[in-house]
Amino acid sequence: MKLLLTGVSHKTAPVEVRECLAFPEDSLASALKDLRTRAGVTEAVILSTCNRVEITITTEDGVDPQSTVDAFLADHKTISSDSIAAHLYRYEGREAIHHLFRVAASLDSMVVGEPQILGQLKAAYNTAKETGAVCGWMDGLLTRAFNVAKRVRSETGIGQMAVSVSYAAVELARKIFGSLNGRTIMIVGAGKMSELAARHLRRSGATHVFVTNRTYERAIELAKLFQGTPVEYSRFQSTLPEVDILIASSGATEYILRKEEMQRVIAARRNKPAFLIDIAVPRNIDPAINDLDNVFLYDIDDLQEVVNANLRERMKEADRAEELVTEEVERMMARLKVVEITPTIVGLQEQLESIRAAEVEKVKRRYGPFTEQQQEALEAATRAIINKVAHGPISELRVQAGKPDGAHAVALIKKVFHLQD
Amino acid sequence: MAEMSVIWLRVAAALYSLGLLHSILMLVRRREHLFGVALGAFALGAVFHFVSIVDEGILSNRCPIANTYETLSMCSFLVAILYLFVQWRYKMASLSAFIFPLVFVMSLMATLGNPVGAWSNPVVRNVWLTVHIVLVLLGIAALVVTAVASLLYLFQERELKAKKPRKFYYRLPALGTLDDLISRSMGVGFVLMTLAVIAASTWAFIEHKTAWISQPDIAISFFTWGTYLVLVFLRTTAGWRGRKAAIMTVTVLGFSAITWVAHSRLGAMLLHQ
């Protein structure tokens, strides 16, 4: 059996090439059926996302999988093979398994650790399974890939840190308040990013949203979106003692909240922490406010810095994840080698059994006839002998098959027992 | 002190103890609905306290501030009256977290001016002392948790203020979680320490008769309990967090360690029985 993975990704091909090779969801099943019915192809799966298109097939030993995939692409895609050749990557055997595990674990993603790729791979697997394109060995391989991805996510922090500004705001709020349940948010001004951050915070447990805007009608409109309370712009500071998280994104050209004003707010809050997110440019909140105890002020650059730090941390975790993936690939290869050695073990057992049967027959002819009891004893004794003889080489075959340098020992055992490949 | 005067003072201390109970519930379970009952009992306690002081003054024909016990009684009465006035005038319920335990402990100490007979049974004496030691050790353990959590809070707060996440930011728990742990461990620790102080005062009172109050190690204990009370008060009323709270907690822990050293003979005394 041969395994080949052919594909393009955001790392190897620009979007113009990726979009030419992509398989729309509605044509994926028919493409898989066509690929599966090609000569020598035993199983196939196609992963098609905005960042990658990958075709993985297993074929019989006598078939060239590369030409099969090339022919398939030529039949289904109008783009010439010459123009895509430079962008394509092809992995066989162990390399293909390694790549598949890395993709599933989101180590090959544009944003390392993003969770969507695993869902997309599972969807590709389901489609292949429904069309009958995955029905045996590759089923086990993909299931293993999902388990590897799960292990990587649970044993490393690869997916734990926010990598978008709006999520970074939510993560910081969690770092300040612990749980966001029952927290109160205030949005000052209107903007897509403040809306998004408020939405994330609301989803994370924040219960009440105050909205204020220079145009009161706009505040009412936005408040409706969050089932919140509109506040008149002139009165927003008097509401601040109730507010745990303030998101400022108004178009004001001067600070709308100064240090001495915030000092009064924090005293009214009896020093309960307050998180101020200033995503306006020019800034809405006096940066000196961050010097106050129990006030945490982050502007857009600070949030970006958190995102960058998170990305650096993710890369550190990715190194650990790579080690886990390599370990899993080795385990998978060892398992495959054990499966590969099974015909040799069966051959050895059959050979010993035929020798035993022939010798028993000879004894029967020369010294027989035997009573039923004697025959049973003869069979049991000879079987026990060949089982004991076979135990050593069979165990050694299993052990050596799993080792990277075990091929020599396997060949030697085959030679000793006159076993053919 | 005269016999009747001490009895009135004991009734007052018993009523003040409801105030202490309210403070404990407020700290540990964050429930404040007992405040009305506690305040009523506290006011009634102040009435009995007044009767005790007047009784003592009439019988001795002088202002009852001639010794430590009488002074303590007078002082705690004045604090109680002052608090009742502030509460009536400004409705400062949060102040009760500090005043109720303080007045109770001061009036309790004042009731211990008249010596009672020796221990009825040495076993009772030892059990009493063991209870005190166990309460103190548990209280210190809770205080250590508070101090460690306060330091972690400080580190995490610095990380968040610096806005450049490093190792601590990712490894340490959220400020809110640490704050919750600090409040709970501090509340539990304070309750244990207060009970330990009550157990110790009564034990020392029987053991050393009236001489107990003038011993320096006892004074250290009360001072440490007082700093703990201030910490609890500042935390619950002014919401002290971060650097100030961490320094204060570590200071109280330091005083507790000194107090422990000063009383190390108690454990030895128990072992040699």
Same domain, A270 and A178: yes
Same domain, A145 and A171: no
Chain B: nearest CA to A318, how far in angstroms? 16
**A315: in domain:** no
Chain B: nearest CA to A170, how far in angstroms? 13
- The whole-angstrom separation of Cα A335 and Cα A341 is 10
From A155, A189, A205, the end of a domain falls on A155
Partners of residue B169 in chain A, C-beta under 8 Å: 175, 309
Same domain, A67 and A125: yes
- Cβ <8 Å between B164 and A177: no
Same domain, A303 and A175: yes
Same domain, A142 and A178: no
- The whole-angstrom separation of Cα B221 and Cα B224 is 5
- The whole-angstrom separation of Cα A233 and Cα A224 is 17
Q: Which portions of chain A are predicted below pLDDT 70?
A: 404, 421
Q: Identify any residues that bridge with A59 across adjacent strands, giving them in sequence order.
A: A2, A41
From A155, A183, A206, the end of a domain falls on A155
Same domain, A6 and A151: yes
pLDDT for the residue numbered A193: 78
Report the Cα–Cα distance between both ends of chain A, in Å, rounded. Answer: 15
- Cβ <8 Å between B241 and A177: no
Question: pLDDT digits over A13-25, tens only?
Answer: 999 889 999 999 8
Domain of A407, in residue numbers: 329-416
Same domain, A270 and A362: no
List C-alpha distances in Å: A173 to A158, A164, A166, A223.
20, 14, 11, 21
Most distant pair of Cα atoms in chain A: their distance? 116
Chain B: nearest CA to A103, how far in angstroms? 26
Q: Who among B163, B174, B238 is closest to A270 (CB)?
A: B238
Is-catalytic flag, A135? no
For chain A, give me the number of helices (H) and strands (E)? 15, 10
Q: pTM score, two decimals?
A: 0.69
CB A161 within 8 A of CB A315: no
Same domain, A20 and A138: yes
**A82: in domain:** yes
- The whole-angstrom separation of Cα A136 and Cα A129 is 10
What's the CATH code of the domain at A210?
3.40.50.720
The per-residue pLDDT of chain A, averaged, comes to 90
ipTM of the complex: 0.71
- Cβ <8 Å between B164 and A309: yes
Question: pLDDT digits over B91-132, tens only?
Answer: 888 788 889 999 999 998 888 877 666 677 778 888 888 898
Q: Identify any residues that bridge with A248 across adjacent strands, giving them in sequence order.
A: A188, A278
pLDDT for the residue numbered A92: 93
Same domain, A248 and A360: no
A-B contacts (CB, under 8 Å) = 59
- Cβ <8 Å between A305 and B163: yes
Residue of A nearest to B175 (CA): A176
- The whole-angstrom separation of Cα A156 and Cα A315 is 11
pLDDT per position in chain B (273 positions), as tens? 677 888 899 999 999 999 888 888 877 766 667 888 899 999 999 999 999 999 989 988 888 888 888 888 999 999 999 999 998 888 888 788 889 999 999 998 888 877 666 677 778 888 888 898 899 889 999 999 999 999 999 899 999 999 888 878 888 899 999 988 988 898 899 999 999 988 888 888 787 776 666 777 788 888 899 999 898 888 887 778 777 888 888 888 888 888 888 877 665 665 555
* Structural domains of chain A, count: 3
Residue of A nearest to B94 (CA): A270
**A321: in domain:** no
CB-based contact, A162 to chain B, within 8 Å: no
Same domain, A242 and A283: yes
The per-residue pLDDT of chain B, averaged, comes to 85
The residue from A15, A39, A50, A288 that is catalytic is A50
Query: What DSSP string runs through A339-404?
Result: HHHHHHHHHHHHHHHHHHHHHHHHHHHHH----HHHHHHHHHHHHHHHHHHHHHHHHHHHHHHTST
**A421: in domain:** no
Chain A: nearest CA to B203, how far in angstroms? 40
